[in-house]
Structure 1
Amino acid sequence: MSKEYIRDKHYKIIGSIDTDSSGKQIGYDAHFSRVGEYDPKSDRTRDSHFSIVGTGNQLSALIWRSVD
């Protein structure tokens, strides 16, 4: 599993994205709360309530939306 950190313009970590061996990604905000997941097989992003947000990987947008 790999982890990518998302940072704001001041280099403060605002979230992270974990990628597992199948390519599925899970996004977390700065408080380690799950904001959504992306499944490359279906090419869909779902939010923390498992509702479809859209096609393609939109985890970064979900993380930015969670910023206070």
Structure 2
Amino acid sequence: MKISRQAYAEMFGPTVGDRVRLADTDLWIEVEKDYTIYGDEVKFGGGKVIRDGMGQGQKMAAEV
């Protein structure tokens, strides 16, 4: 399945090559590296479900 870059960014956020404007400034950044494995993107909230261990660590901060 293929989706447009705009649709991908709206669902999962920017990825390599995308440019993002920083708040209400005239400063722009470009994403150089994306550590997400395509197909394993995570969405939070709105009743969305993710598999255990994806997107968030299961250990307490003191254990890391």
Q: TM-score, normalised by structure 1?
A: 0.25
**Structure number with higher strand proportion:** 1
Larger radius of gyration: 2
Q: TM-score, normalised by structure 2?
A: 0.25
**Structure number with higher helix proportion:** 2
Asked which structure has the greater RCO (Cα within 8 Å, sep 6+), the reply is 1
